[in-house]
Amino acid sequence: MNTLEENSPQSIAAQSGVTALPHLGVLQAQGEDAAHFLHNQLSNDVLLLPVGQSRLAAFCSAKGRMQASFVLIKSAPDTVLLVMSLDLLAHTLKRLSMFVLRAKVKMTDATGQWQLRGLLGDSAATWVGPATPWQTASVDGVHAVALYPAVVGEVPLARALWLGPAESTLPAGAHLPAEVWAWAEVMSGVTLVSQPVFEAFVPQMLNYESVGGVNFKKGCYPGQEVVARSQFRGTLKRRTALVHSPVALVAGQDLFTPADPEQPCATVVLSAPRPDGQGYVALVSGTLESQATGWHTAPADGAALDVLPLPYALLADI
């Protein structure tokens, strides 16, 4: 079978271009207390984030379950932009606004003020070069955030999130089909929380502590005790893995293992077809025990999934 993994680095690098990201939206926190307010609500440090730079962060319930996650960009000393899944934006805006109280910050839906684009391959490299994930190139109000690359075989394919004011000139590059961008996101091993997996995971179940999404040294935030206890007491029993599937999968779908066919043991987080037509790839969060015994799409006659190597190392339990 001629797979992408067997193709040359040149053919993999040909997956390049620019795509619109209509499934994402932008929340804006503005005011002199914006960074301090978000620092007390999210899983990552916002106070020490320099202007023009970015981080990954999660917004959790009191039980440590992720209600949303963001690529956050400090665009000015008093302004933070939070790029997130559009299907959770209204709920997240309402929830965060409930905690503002006397803080000097205003939370708004700023989606209409910005253009969002995904950059892949050479198009990404033009903006962020060899930058490490979450480093950001910010020029004249336009921000390009280096994301985790898609890794096919041992070949990394650069990815970047481009965010420009509504009147900005769009980045140059060939049109990239949305399906290819989704495939590259899956292959990066890093994704944002969407409605089908709302409150399904603590951050470590999506490997967020291993990709810069959790700061264990910062102060309290909703769910912080649960997140810290999961990490420091060695109680992590569920992780996200990269898999290949012969059939289509959908976010929120339950998966099973032959060892215990009556009980779902894993959940699909994100899935996309492979550009070469050879099945599908997906990010799946499941128990470590069931991953070892194998995942299937149904208890009895479901398709078997093949676990692929993650493109990054997991942070060991402490």
For the beta carbon of residue 220, count every other beta carbon within 10 angstroms: 9
Share of the chain above pLDDT 70, in %: 94
- What are the CB-based long-range contacts (under 8 Å, 24+) for 100-107? 100/37, 103/31, 103/33, 103/36, 103/37, 104/31, 104/32, 104/33, 105/29, 105/30, 105/31, 105/32, 105/33, 105/34, 105/37, 106/29, 106/30, 106/31, 107/27, 107/28, 107/29
**Which tens digit of pLDDT belongs to each residue from 180-236?**
999 999 999 999 999 999 999 999 999 999 999 999 988 899 988 888 877 766 667
As a whole number, mean pLDDT of residues 276-297 equals 94
CATH 2.40.30.160 fits 203-308, yes or no: yes
CA 138 to chain centre: 21
Could you tell me which of 66, 305, 11, 75 has the C-alpha nearest to residue 207?
66
Query: So what's the pLDDT on residue 229?
Result: 79
The model's pLDDT over 134-185, given as tens digits with 9 standing for 90+, comes to 999 999 999 999 999 999 888 899 999 999 999 999 999 999 999 999 999 9
What is the domain class of 4-175 according to CATH? alpha beta
Do 143 and 136 form a contact (C-beta atoms < 8 A)? yes
* 2 — pLDDT class (breaks 50, 70, 90): very low
- Where are the domains positioned within the chain? 4-175, 203-308
Look up the pTM and report it: 0.93
Give yes or no for a contact between 46 and 190, defined as CB atoms under 8 angstroms apart: no
Q: Do domains 4-175 and 203-308 have the same CATH topology?
A: no
Q: Identify the pLDDT of residue 233.
A: 63
- At a CB cut-off of 8 Å and minimum separation 6, what does 132 contact? 146
pLDDT at 153: 82
Supply the pLDDT for residue 154: 82
